Chain A
Amino acid sequence: DQQVKQNSPSLSVQEGRISILNCDYTNSMFDYFLWYKKYPAEGPTFLISISSIKDKNEDGRFTVFLNKSAKHLSLHIVPSQPGDSAVYFCENAGNMLTFGGGTRLMVKP
């Protein structure tokens, strides 16, 4: 039973536009989520996080939104750049370090 789901395996966006990556979760001991970015054959790198005391966290071009009632979070990248092309994972740190299946983002020049 997958408790963290990223329902879009891939997303293609034009350079300069907004990329929106979504993540849904079920059970959680506490609401703390992280987004990681992963290039092929490399380990993931931490991007941004959000805890239950907030519904939004912003860091430069990256913003994460948390909707606790819907158990849904999203990562917005504005403007998208070709270097953002990677696989993005959301992690529920409050649930046995559970990761979603990832979304492959492709930003076209």
Chain B
Amino acid sequence: EVQLVESGGGLVQPGGSLRLSCAASGFTFSSYWMSWVRQAPGKGLEWVANIKQDGSEKYYVDSVKGRFTISRDNAKNSLYLQMNSLRAEDTAVYYCARDLYGSLGHWGQGTLVTVSS
């Protein structure tokens, strides 16, 4: 059974940093693109970033470019999102998802990031 479990969320001050993790199991992690998607409270879904199987290609939504970095460790079956220079508008539930040719067929339960002073 495919499982994705996010962790690392919490309360952080504006301008601060946070690193999210996503632990994958039940599939060959190194064979799949992976994505991060976020959802601000009461709002819709926003795709944030994705990363190729070997980490050689990474893409970001414009609003996080230069502040967020997606990475992965295939030996540890783990996906990461390093978030720097956090803003109030980054407050959201962050989901990791398995990305198969653009279709996000498996999602984690999400981790809440709150940016507030």
Q: Do A and B bind each other?
A: no
